[in-house]
């Protein structure tokens, strides 16, 4: 079994990545240089994928929005936004990238190569978005739409109900409003640690129900979300 360095050489052959493109895409590329750039991380020398990632992200969000708009004709804007965020977030994009072998094709600088950058979710997701940008420039919107829809077919089919994607604070607020109850009060109990590595403890209180919960996290928002989740669970158990 080869090492990570053997699987991801610092220099590529002159025909890289044409063999992989032929296996992965239903079309022959017009401009191979676009795909080489899409697979080149900024840690490597030469043209990298940051600009293509920017373009691919915009195209992906447009296509995902289009499909969700069609699939959920009665969903409000907030639900559609949550569904799209779930569909095109870093983790599912990285999984798709792994499935089609993007990691093995990445051109990385020596530092990223040594630390396993080809397995890092952020790098894989960014490269996939860059590839989408490359396909868009090389083949146009219709080909891009067809290819990306094939990639997202499984995640699209497995999307949860929009309500399941709401954060705990939102779900707690909706629970209380539906019962004409006052909204909770959040108060920071303490902050520990240095400025770059703080830890927050937050109190969530419902005075009308004499209920209090606590949450902790690396940010005030995370601590509040944890406290809200515990409060919601407590209310559901009471009912």
pLDDT digit string (tens) for 32-45? 999 999 999 999 98
Are 132 and 183 within one domain?
no
- Residue 162 · residue 79 · CB < 8 Å: yes
Are 123 and 202 within one domain?
no
pLDDT the model gives residue 1: 36
pLDDT the model gives residue 114: 87
Percent of the chain at pLDDT above 70?
94
The domain tally of the chain equals: 2
Of 53, 112, 129, 138, catalytic: 129
Conformation bin of residue 210: beta by default, left when phi > 0, alpha when psi is -120 to 50: left
Last residue of a domain, one of 110, 135, 160: 160
Q: Are strands 211-217 and 185-192 parallel, antiparallel or unpaired?
A: unpaired
pLDDT the model gives residue 6: 43
**What's the full length of the chain, in residues?**
239
Of 57, 112, 138, 224, catalytic: 57
Range of the domain at 103: 4-160
Active site residue 129: yes
pLDDT the model gives residue 46: 85
Q: Name 93's Cβ contacts closer than 8 Å, sequence gap at least 6.
A: 124, 125, 128, 129
Are 30 and 61 within one domain?
yes
Are 174 and 155 within one domain?
no
- pTM score above 0.75: no
Low-confidence ranges of the chain (pLDDT < 50): 1-6
Measure the CA dihedral 151/124/17/7, to 10°: -120
Q: How far is CA 216 from the centre of its chain?
A: 24
Active site residue 146: no
Last residue of a domain, one of 133, 160, 187: 160
| Count of CB atoms situated within 10 Å of the CB of 77 | 7
Q: Which helix (H) or strand (E) holds 64?
A: helix 50-71
Are 172 and 128 within one domain?
no
Are 90 and 131 within one domain?
yes
């Amino acid at each position: 079994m080869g090492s990570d360095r053997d699987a991801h050489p610092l220099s590529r052959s002159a025909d890289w990545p044409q063999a992989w493109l032929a296996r992965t895409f239903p079309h022959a590329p017009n401009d191979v240089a676009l795909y080489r750039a899409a697979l080149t991380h900024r840690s490597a020398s030469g043209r990298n994928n940051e600009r293509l990632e920017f373009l691919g992200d915009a195209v992906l969000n447009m296509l995902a929005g289009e499909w969700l708009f069609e699939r959920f004709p009665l969903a409000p804007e907030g639900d559609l936004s949550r569904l799209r965020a779930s569909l095109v977030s870093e983790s599912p994009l990285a999984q798709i990238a792994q499935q089609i072998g993007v990691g093995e094709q990445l051109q990385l600088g020596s530092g990223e190569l040594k630390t396993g950058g080809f397995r890092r979710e952020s790098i894989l997701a960014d490269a996939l978005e860059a590839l989408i940008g490359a396909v868009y420039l090389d083949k146009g919107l219709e080909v891009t739409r067809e290819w990306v829809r094939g990639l997202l077919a499984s995640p699209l089919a497995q999307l949860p109900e929009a309500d399941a994607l709401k954060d705990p604070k939102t779900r707690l607020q909706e629970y209380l409003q539906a019962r004409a109850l006052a909204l909770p009060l959040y108060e920071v109990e303490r902050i520990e640690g240095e400025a770059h590595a703080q830890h927050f403890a937050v109190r969530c209180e419902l005075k009308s129900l004499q209920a209090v919960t606590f949450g902790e996290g690396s940010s005030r928002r995370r601590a509040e979300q944890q406290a809200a989740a515990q409060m919601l669970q407590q209310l559901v158990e009471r009912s």
